Amino acid sequence: MLETFDMYRQNSRAATEAGGILLGHVRGEHLEVIQATQPQAGDVRHRMRYERNDPVHQTKADLMWKQSDGEIRYLGEWHTHPEDRPIPSSVDMNGWRHRALARQDGRATLSVIVGRVGLYVSLVDREGKTNVFIECQSS
């Protein structure tokens, strides 16, 4: 998963935002991310905007769910920002709240922003409250 993040860091002025979904296990209150989908042809990618539109992401989530007998599931979303230490925009935060409130299983939604140097990781609960867990820097 970290390899996927590294492939899409916006380290040049021409690099566009990228993103995908996070898949993995729920172990009590713990989440184990095992895969991050990569951007697909139907996604919208601009320097400072990413929209996950391609159905391949959902197809991958459905396949992993089925093959694992429901053990591997959708955990959340990731995308890049063209800044060293990423900070979520109001668009990011509104999208996270919307996805968290729409979840039928009531679980929190994991959100990751990949910056050029660091990561911003948060969970948005079923009431739309954002809990920041990591604002870190890569080595």
Indicate the DSSP class of residue 38: P
pTM of the model: 0.91
The CATH number that applies at residue 54 is 3.40.140.10
Looking at the structure of the chain, the number of domains it has is: 1
pLDDT attached to residue 33: 96
Dihedral angle over CA of 7, 15, 44, 66, nearest 10 = 0
The mean per-residue pLDDT over the stretch 69-85 comes to: 95
Q: Give the burial class of 106: count Cβ atoms within 10 A of its Cβ; 0-12 exposed, 13-18 middle, 19 or more buried.
A: exposed
Non-local CB neighbours of 102 within 8 Å, separated by 6+ positions: none
The mean per-residue pLDDT over the stretch 80-96 comes to: 93
More confident residue, 105 or 40: 40
pLDDT attached to residue 32: 94
| Active-site residue list | 17
Three-class secondary structure of residue 79 per DSSP: strand
Mean pLDDT, rounded, of the chain? 91
pLDDT attached to residue 66: 97
- The maximal CA–CA distance of the chain, rounded, in angstroms, is 43
pLDDT grade, residue 126 (50/70/90)?
A: confident
pLDDT grade, residue 139 (50/70/90)?
A: very low
**Does 134 score more than 80 pLDDT?**
no
Residue numbers of the domain that contains 96: 2-137
pLDDT attached to residue 92: 92
pLDDT grade, residue 138 (50/70/90)?
A: low
